[in-house]
Structure 1
């Protein structure tokens, strides 16, 4: 029973970290471009 639980946790945790990195990257580049522009 612990194996499916760990597997489901990895499945939900994986995409969460992926989406977090995807959303963090554009905002980071946006702030850097804004600071260099001004």
Structure 2
């Protein structure tokens, strides 16, 4: 089981990294918008 899980995590890591990068960029954009509105 552990070997299969490792293979899956290795395959999913690039997608997860790109998702986190886009999410952080989205949070930064929304934070800047909040500062402009207030």
TM-score (norm 1): 0.68
The count of corresponding residues between Structure 1 and Structure 2 is 35
**Structure 2 unaligned residues grouped into runs of 5+:** none
RMSD: 1.4
**Structure 1 unaligned residues grouped into runs of 5+:** none
